[in-house]
């Protein structure tokens, strides 16, 4: 006779969801603490707690965050190589509810994190069940992304756009605050070592589709990115224009 177990078996998926749920619970508990207590975990230089006014162009908006280093001992050899010089980052963002602003209000007061693209190769994002993430289409229209706490969003970064010679485009996105509930999102940013050279892969370049970007190191790109405002297009600094191809031919 087989007797059912009083506790259901946990699959890898349910265990993973349990970890995510615990992370969200711990994150919300941390951000609910008094400011003085949270500040004991900061400043984020580079890791720890931070609170910034950052928004449309880097000068408005409300955001508090935790920036953590991933544990290289728990990931694959290839991932350890990628993160050896400039460790991959794990970030937890918290957007407090803005009760004095309605959800339909298009004003900058609703901006939690302004329009930008991620400079890294790839971002893996997960949010709670509160809406707020928006992506910008090519025609400039902002489209809300329905929240799905059971799934992950993959966001193409600037570096991946260069590696694919523009075949994959980095996604310009922003986060807006909710009028009744706080939004929390967690992100993993994958990036190469600081001294790694980034340029279009040979497979992505042809006479019909010449290289669109000048080679640069990840360190050079980071330095350029942080010298600009949040909403600026960083890749324009490394773009090869049609006249450059004519001169080189």
User: Tell me: the pLDDT tens digits for 160-191?
Assistant: 999 999 999 999 999 888 878 888 888 888 88
> Are the CB atoms for 154 and 123 separated by under 8 Å?
yes
Q: Give pTM, 2 decimals.
A: 0.72
CATH topology of domain 17-238: Jelly Rolls (2.60.120)
Active site residues: 183
Buried b / exposed e over 216-235, threshold 16 CB at 10 Å, is bebebbbebbeeeebbbebb
Domain ranges for the chain? 17-238
User: Tell me: the pLDDT tens digits for 184-216?
Assistant: 888 888 888 899 999 999 999 999 999 999 999
């Amino acid at each position: 006779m087989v007797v059912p177990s009083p506790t259901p078996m946990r699959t890898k998926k349910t265990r993973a969801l349990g970890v995510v749920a615990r992370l969200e619970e711990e994150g919300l508990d941390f951000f609910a603490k008094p400011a003085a207590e949270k500040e004991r975990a900061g400043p984020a230089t580079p890791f720890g707690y931070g609170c910034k006014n950052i928004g449309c162009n880097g000068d408005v908006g409300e955001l508090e965050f935790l920036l953590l280093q991933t544990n290289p001992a728990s990931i694959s050899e290839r991932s350890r190589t990628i993160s050896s010089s400039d460790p991959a980052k794990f970030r937890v963002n918290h957007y407090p509810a803005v009760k004095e602003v309605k959800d339909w209000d298009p004003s900058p007061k609703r901006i939690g994190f302004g329009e930008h693209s991620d400079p890294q190769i790839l971002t893996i994002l997960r949010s709670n069940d509160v809406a707020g993430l928006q992506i910008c289409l090519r025609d400039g229209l902002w489209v809300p992304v329905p929240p799905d706490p059971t799934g992950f969003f993959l966001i193409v970064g600037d570096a991946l756009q260069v590696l694919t010679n523009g075949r994959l485009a980095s996604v310009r996105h922003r986060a807006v605050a909710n009028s009744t509930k706080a939004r929390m999102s967690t992100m993993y940013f994958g990036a190469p070592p600081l001294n790694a050279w980034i340029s279009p892969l040979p497979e992505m370049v042809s006479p019909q589709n010449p290289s669109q970007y000048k080679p640069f190191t990840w360190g050079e790109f980071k330095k350029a990115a942080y010298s600009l405002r949040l909403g600026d297009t960083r890749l324009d600094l490394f773009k090869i224009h049609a006249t450059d191809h004519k001169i080189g031919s």
